[in-house]
Chain A
Amino acid sequence: MINVMIEVSKYLMILLIAVYTYLNFSYFRFHEERKQKSVCRKQNAAMFLLHFVANLILYLKSEDERVMLFYLAQMVFLAAYIGLYQMFYRNLTRILVNNMCMLLCVGWIVLTRLSFEKAVRQFIIVAVAALVTWIIPLIMDRVWQLSRIPWVYGTLGLALLAVVWMVGNNSYGAQLSISMGSFSLQPSEFVKISFVFFVATMFYRSTDWISVAVTTAVAAAHVLVLVLSRDLGSALIFFVTYLVMLFVATGSWLYFLTGILGGCGAAVLAYRWFAHVRVRVSAWKNPWADIDNRGYQITQSLFAIGTGGWFGMGLYQGMPYKIPVVEKDFVFAAISEELGGIFALCVLLICLGCFLQFMMVAVRMQASFYKLIAVGLGMEYLIQVFLTVGGVIKFIPSTGVTLPLVSYGGSSVLSTFILFGVIQGLYILKKNDEEDYEEDEA
């Protein structure tokens, strides 16, 4: 009986997320506010329904009352976040809030299925992050000095990374985090944000060759420290983001192509010099040759995705727990296995939708400082999604980064909330500006 329900729920959830994703892209067609709002309301309906169906199965299968309570807590949070955020900031972009909530939902469903304790922990971190980052748009609006302090961002970021490199905890061969009591913090997640602010403030001041040289040197220092900490995923994110910001700021193809060539050269050198890079590449090229050891994680991930197929096995019908660190770097495989390949594709498209929103904000902003920030944060976000999903499906070598808002991990969630908060801030700035302008005209 329960098996039949799981089977039916599986298709229902795929349908709901497909509708949600479709609405997400149809949003771009509408320019009237009324129609946009109607799209967002429909999205909310699809999301809450999906959330309910999933939690019903989670409850029936686990027979744990706490799951029900947890569901209610999540529902209250989502409703409050969606409702209050837009009451407070009249001009925010609702679709971005929706997407955040949808991704959080998916993350909670998968985490609850994998480990109730971790899911609760994650939920608390999300709630705190939501509260703390509430004021970001407000700050963006008031504190114009943000564009004046490049060296604060630069030194702070580098110092944090250097600390991790020297005293960081070693996990899976990389130094990623520092411990503070029972908490462990992953500073590179926050340096991502300060890095974009650093580059944007530098190029906002000037894009002459001296400024470019200095900025490039500091950016290179960031990347180098990350490579030394063996955090290859972050190193790649920083590198690509810098290259794109440089290109957008200067419009110079020379810089862009030199950067790409330099990046390729650096990749070859890294492959020659560092054994851990070679290990990752060989595990990607032929994981089957060393299936017990280096190829274990990726092959388990492929088994999960392949066995799940387009429609998935249904919640609790697969074995996502067979994949090492499934709740962090390999969460996409767990989604694909139990909720289905189509569902996973929709998650991917929602992420892509967020990126398009970011870029739209970048295009609409008038100050180059804001443009650069939107481009930089958008790139960081999308490259991270690309690296994690590409690694999980063996499209590219695995680099060990998380899927923002879906994966388990406090630092990642908090920094993603900051990232989305900043973009919301930019959007609100622009909207307020337009309204002022219209009032002046009138």
Chain B
Amino acid sequence: MKKTKPDSHTNRNILLITYLMVGLFISMIGYFGYFLQVRGETVINNSYNARLDRFSDRIIRGELLSHDGRILARTEADEDGSERRVYPYGPLFAHSVGYSDHGKTGLEALANFYLLSSHMNLIEQTVNEFSGVKNIGDNVITTLDVDLQQTASDALGGRRGAVIVMEPDTGKILAMISRPEYDPNTLGADWDFLISGENTEAQLLNRSTQGLYPPGSTFKILTILEYIREHPDTWREYTFDCDGIYECGDYTISCYHGNVHGHQTLEQAFANSCNGAFAALGQELDAGAMHDLAEQLLFNQELPLSLAYSKGSFTMNTGADTWEILQTSIGQGNTQITPMHNAMITAAIANGGILMKPYLLERVESSAGEEVKQFLPESAGSLMTADEAEALSGLMRLVVTEGTGSAVRTDAYSVAGKTGSAEFETGRETHAWFTGFAPAENPRLAVTVVVEEAGSGGQVAAPIARSIFDRYFSR
């Protein structure tokens, strides 16, 4: 065989290729390590991961606790080893805590991995292993507040709807209610009825994150924000004369119960929720830019939320016809939003435009009370500029001091908010909305309420927010 001279050129190239390949491999190994160390926990905590169920063969599911340590869910084991999940507050936390026996929802799904992991001390674990006794899973402390949850539930009474209470500067969800409810303690017995076709109440649906409603006048927050963006210096000069019914070609838009607002500045129109003014103003707006703004405020987008949710939808775009513009500008038409989505927009306004990711898990402790993991607030990005948030905050304050939000007007604390009365079917009562925060100058609490088919937001929804604010600020 012919022998070429040892060719240093060729060998150098071979080495170069070798280094390249080793580099490629090292980056893959790096990714593998990153996945195991950082991503793994989030990825595996998924209802499609059957492996987690296997954990319960060897571990007793841990407890879910409120933020002050009250038990929301625990597992009772009989002497024969059979286990039962018990929810001491019954239906009160139905959707937020969820259930774990017919699939997993709510916190039971969110915290599944932690509840089924045990950080007991190793000696105890080994002893248990030898004697065939199950280890005790970790406890998960949530952000939920029993008092506020109870207050919100009482205020909502027997009506259908949803309430969300959160801290705008952290994203902690303090209360989350959806009604009608089910009793997680008797879910097994009630299951067949709950999922049967005759049952039209949809008790299992978490309305606060999955219920889609027309936003009604709460959407005027977006309409006015777009107007401010298009007229940053002159928006306060806008005026409108309201005679109760606004006519535009063949179309008419009337104010709630035909109220006549008379001469209105933009601030007054917002405070009084004058439909005519906003329908007129909507036609001046750039529909494409309005679409962009809606998407920036998370319509048609994934929400930064670990719970199951529905996406809000906004369809108006460049080339929309007059009727669609009129309807969309006042929060009717095709636009749909979940209470959680509305709460996020409100919280972002309260927090200078920055949305904190709403969360429910505060920390994980071993059964002996040692901290295993702590969850910290996370920013989900900016929905608007600080100036825009401040302007909206001022406008929402006026809603309470001068306009439709009189139910939350008090000297004890200052609320900023927006009411809404959303039509969803001709001839039926409107859905009542209220979304707002307090104190207006230094927000600590954001509350979003929707009551189905209940009337006006100012008269029905705002008083529910009032009782929550009262309770929160009185302690």
Contact of A306 with B40 in the complex, beta carbons under 8 Å: yes
**Are A368 and B28 CB-contacts (below 8 A) given A306-B41, A309-B36?**
no
| Interface stretch of the complex, out of B44-52, B97-105, B240-248, B456-464 | B44-52
Asked whether any CB of chain A lies closer than 8 Å to the CB of B474, the reply is no
**Are A1 and B130 CB-contacts (below 8 A) given A369-B1, A389-B28?**
yes
B13 to chain A, nearest CB (A): 5
Contact of A355 with B21 in the complex, beta carbons under 8 Å: yes
Query: With the chains together, A362 CA to B12 CA distance in Å?
Result: 11
Asked whether any CB of chain A lies closer than 8 Å to the CB of B31, the reply is yes
Contact partner, B10, options A3, A248, A306, A322, Cβ 8 Å: A248
**Bitwise interface map of A from 241 to 261 toward B, beta carbon under 8 Å scored 1, else 0:** 000100110010000000000
Q: Which residues of A contact B10 (CB under 8 A)?
A: 248, 251, 368, 371
Q: Which residues of A contact B24 (CB under 8 A)?
A: 386
Q: Which residues of B contact A348 (CB under 8 A)?
A: 25, 28-29, 32
Asked whether any CB of chain A lies closer than 8 Å to the CB of B475, the reply is no
**Bitwise interface map of A from 135 to 157 toward B, beta carbon under 8 Å scored 1, else 0:** 00000000010010000000000
Q: Which residues of B contact A264 (CB under 8 A)?
A: none
B307 to chain A, nearest CB (A): 15
Query: With the chains together, A386 CA to B29 CA distance in Å?
Result: 10
Query: With the chains together, A389 CA to B27 CA distance in Å?
Result: 12
Contact partner, A368, options B7, B32, B44, B51, Cβ 8 Å: B7
Contact of A3 with B129 in the complex, beta carbons under 8 Å: yes
Contact of A4 with B4 in the complex, beta carbons under 8 Å: no
A44 to chain B, nearest CB (A): 26
Contact of A367 with B28 in the complex, beta carbons under 8 Å: no
**Bitwise interface map of B from 5 to 18 toward A, beta carbon under 8 Å scored 1, else 0:** 01101110111011
A111 to chain B, nearest CB (A): 20
**Bitwise interface map of B from 72 to 95 toward A, beta carbon under 8 Å scored 1, else 0:** 000000000000000000000000
Asked whether any CB of chain B lies closer than 8 Å to the CB of A182, the reply is no
Q: Which residues of A contact B35 (CB under 8 A)?
A: 302, 305-306, 393-394
B404 to chain A, nearest CB (A): 41
Asked whether any CB of chain A lies closer than 8 Å to the CB of B43, the reply is yes
Contact of B40 with A395 in the complex, beta carbons under 8 Å: no
Contact of B48 with A147 in the complex, beta carbons under 8 Å: no
Contact partner, B43, options A302, A362, A367, A371, Cβ 8 Å: A302
Query: With the chains together, A366 CA to B18 CA distance in Å?
Result: 18
Q: From DSSP, what is the main secondary structure of chain B's interface residues?
A: helix
Asked whether any CB of chain A lies closer than 8 Å to the CB of B471, the reply is no
Query: With the chains together, A304 CA to B49 CA distance in Å?
Result: 8
Residue of B17, B58, B126 contacting most chain A CB atoms (<10 Å) = B17
Query: With the chains together, A407 CA to B261 CA distance in Å?
Result: 77
Contact of A299 with B3 in the complex, beta carbons under 8 Å: no
Q: Which residues of A contact B37 (CB under 8 A)?
A: 310
Query: With the chains together, A310 CA to B35 CA distance in Å?
Result: 10
Contact partner, B32, options A1, A4, A313, A395, Cβ 8 Å: A395
B362 to chain A, nearest CB (A): 23
Asked whether any CB of chain B lies closer than 8 Å to the CB of A303, the reply is yes
| A-facing residues in B384-425 (Cβ within 8 Å) | none
Q: Which residues of B contact A307 (CB under 8 A)?
A: 40, 44, 49, 51-52
Query: With the chains together, A345 CA to B25 CA distance in Å?
Result: 11
Query: With the chains together, A197 CA to B129 CA distance in Å?
Result: 57
Query: With the chains together, A270 CA to B430 CA distance in Å?
Result: 54
Contact partner, A306, options B9, B17, B44, B126, Cβ 8 Å: B44
Contact of B43 with A306 in the complex, beta carbons under 8 Å: yes
Contact of A247 with B7 in the complex, beta carbons under 8 Å: no
Query: With the chains together, A251 CA to B54 CA distance in Å?
Result: 56
B78 to chain A, nearest CB (A): 23
Query: With the chains together, A362 CA to B17 CA distance in Å?
Result: 12
**Are A363 and B14 CB-contacts (below 8 A) given A4-B129, A309-B36, A393-B32?**
yes
Query: With the chains together, A313 CA to B50 CA distance in Å?
Result: 14
**Shortest Cβ distance from A318 into B: residue:** B51
Asked whether any CB of chain B lies closer than 8 Å to the CB of A176, the reply is no
**Shortest Cβ distance from B35 into A: residue:** A393
Asked whether any CB of chain A lies closer than 8 Å to the CB of B22, the reply is yes
**Bitwise interface map of A from 306 to 330 toward B, beta carbon under 8 Å scored 1, else 0:** 1101100100011100100000000
Asked whether any CB of chain B lies closer than 8 Å to the CB of A225, the reply is no
Asked whether any CB of chain B lies closer than 8 Å to the CB of A161, the reply is no
Contact of B36 with A310 in the complex, beta carbons under 8 Å: yes
Asked whether any CB of chain B lies closer than 8 Å to the CB of A341, the reply is yes
**Bitwise interface map of B from 29 to 70 toward A, beta carbon under 8 Å scored 1, else 0:** 101110111011101101011111010001000000000000
Contact of A248 with B13 in the complex, beta carbons under 8 Å: yes
Asked whether any CB of chain A lies closer than 8 Å to the CB of B257, the reply is no
| B-facing residues in A352-405 (Cβ within 8 Å) | 352, 355-356, 359, 362-363, 366-369, 371, 375, 379, 382, 386, 389-390, 393-395
Query: With the chains together, A248 CA to B16 CA distance in Å?
Result: 10
Contact of A322 with B11 in the complex, beta carbons under 8 Å: no
Q: Which residues of B contact A247 (CB under 8 A)?
A: 13, 17
Asked whether any CB of chain A lies closer than 8 Å to the CB of B428, the reply is no
Query: With the chains together, A341 CA to B40 CA distance in Å?
Result: 11
B120 to chain A, nearest CB (A): 15
Contact of B31 with A393 in the complex, beta carbons under 8 Å: yes
**Shortest Cβ distance from B40 into A: residue:** A306
Asked whether any CB of chain B lies closer than 8 Å to the CB of A291, the reply is yes
Query: With the chains together, A367 CA to B10 CA distance in Å?
Result: 11
A300 to chain B, nearest CB (A): 8
A33 to chain B, nearest CB (A): 22
Contact of B54 with A371 in the complex, beta carbons under 8 Å: no
Contact of A366 with B43 in the complex, beta carbons under 8 Å: no
Query: With the chains together, A359 CA to B31 CA distance in Å?
Result: 25
Knowing that A367-B2, A393-B32 touch, tell me 10 more A-B residue pairs with CB under 8 angstroms: A247-B17, A248-B14, A248-B17, A305-B36, A306-B35, A306-B40, A310-B37, A362-B14, A379-B17, A382-B25
What are 15 A-B pairs at a CB distance below 8 A?
A147-B1, A251-B13, A300-B48, A303-B46, A307-B51, A310-B37, A341-B32, A344-B32, A348-B32, A355-B18, A359-B14, A359-B18, A366-B4, A366-B6, A390-B28
